[in-house]
Amino acid sequence: MKFLLYLWQLPQHLLALALLPVISIKGKHYTTHKRNRYNYIRQTLFDTSFSLGKYVFLTQDNTKTTLKHEVGHSVQSAIFGPLYLLIIGLPSISRNIYSRLRKKNDTWYYSSFPENWADKLGKVNRKRIRPPNQ
């Protein structure tokens, strides 16, 4: 069954495996969410975290909240399989770029699809997260 799930997400996994030697910092780490194991990799090339199937790429300063959010995206990948990059990836990347260009805050970024759903799947409660210096 795990092999079939891996194949179902093959486009994301191939992209992740192609990126691994280019952007990863030595050492892999693992996390478990609902009995599923995810690989999380520290990376420095991109100024953002992202998920590709069972591979979660994190920047150096990411928190456990970010890891949980990205695991939520990994769950979305398991749901949509080969369509994940179009249905979730493209809107997420577009929203990320737009929020950076327009200097939108995190509340705006995480308020709608697909980010709010990734939070729900990863069990992230943003109401509990306070901004720095408060």
Burial per residue of 43-55, b for 16 or more beta-carbon CB atoms within 10 angstroms, e otherwise: beeeeebbbbbbb
Q: pLDDT tens digit string along 30-83?
A: 666 666 778 888 887 888 999 999 999 988 888 889 999 999 999 999 999 999
pLDDT of residue 34: 65
* Residue boundaries of the structural domains of the chain: 2-128
Q: pLDDT tens digit string along 74-116?
A: 999 999 999 999 999 999 999 999 999 999 988 999 999 999 9
Nearest C-alpha neighbor of 19 from the set 59, 52, 47: 52
